[in-house]
């Protein structure tokens, strides 16, 4: 798994406080270690899960987790349609996180959550669209997470 242990805590914490989430979509599978964790979280919560990567890493996890080899940018509308159907936890952790959030954030519903990984290393505040607001930043900082969590701004 290419994540720090604190990420497991963060994802479980956020999922526990967001029962409206009905699906988890991961962009960037790599060898599937964290994908397996997310798939298990989805299973115990009766959620749908899918992970996408443009590279077939040919790892044993691919025989277990729902995985699709796909160029996410070439299939943005197709993946976006899936994201837009129900409240989704979207994880941007592929090779171009800034482009991923710019491409797929418009599809998320108001009750969805977007995670980005490698915060301040591969993705920065200026990469985040203006219509998103950070959530759980204090927890991310407290536990030393390399992720950040965003939602769409709510306008009244």
CATH superfamily entry for domain 5-152: Vaccinia Virus protein VP39 (3.40.50.150)
Q: What is the mean pLDDT of residues 1-14?
A: 90
- Domain locations in the chain as residue ranges: 5-152
Question: Which is higher by pLDDT, 3 or 94?
Answer: 94
- The mean pLDDT of 144-155, rounded to a whole number, is 92
The predicted pLDDT at position 72 comes to: 97
Contact 79, 72 (CB under 8 A): yes
The β-bridge partners of 25 are 50, 90
Percentage of the chain beyond pLDDT 90 is 85
Q: Which alpha helices (H) appear in the chain, and where do they start and end?
A: 5-16, 33-44, 76-85, 97-104, 137-143
Rounded percentage of the chain residues whose pLDDT exceeds 70: 99
Structure tokens at 153: 């701004």
Better-predicted residue by pLDDT, 31 or 136: 136
Q: Which residue has the higher pLDDT, 133 or 31?
A: 133
Q: What value does the mean pLDDT take over residues 9-24?
A: 97
């Amino acid at each position: 798994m290419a994540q720090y242990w604190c990420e497991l805590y963060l994802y479980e914490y956020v999922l526990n406080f967001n029962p409206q989430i009905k699906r988890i979509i991961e962009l960037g599978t790599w060898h599937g270690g964290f994908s397996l964790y997310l798939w298990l979280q989805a299973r115990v919560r009766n959620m749908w899960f899918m992970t996408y990567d443009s590279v077939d890493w040919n790892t044993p996890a691919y025989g277990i987790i729902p995985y699709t080899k796909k160029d996410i940018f070439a299939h943005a509308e197709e993946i976006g349609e899936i994201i837009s159907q129900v409240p989704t936890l979207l994880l941007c952790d592929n090779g171009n996180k800034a482009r991923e959030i710019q491409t797929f954030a418009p599809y998320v519903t108001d009750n969805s959550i977007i995670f980005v990984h490698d915060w301040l290393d591969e993705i920065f505040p200026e990469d985040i669209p203006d219509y998103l607001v950070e959530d759980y930043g204090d927890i991310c900082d407290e536990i030393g997470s390399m992720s950040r969590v965003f939602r769409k701004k709510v306008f009244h």
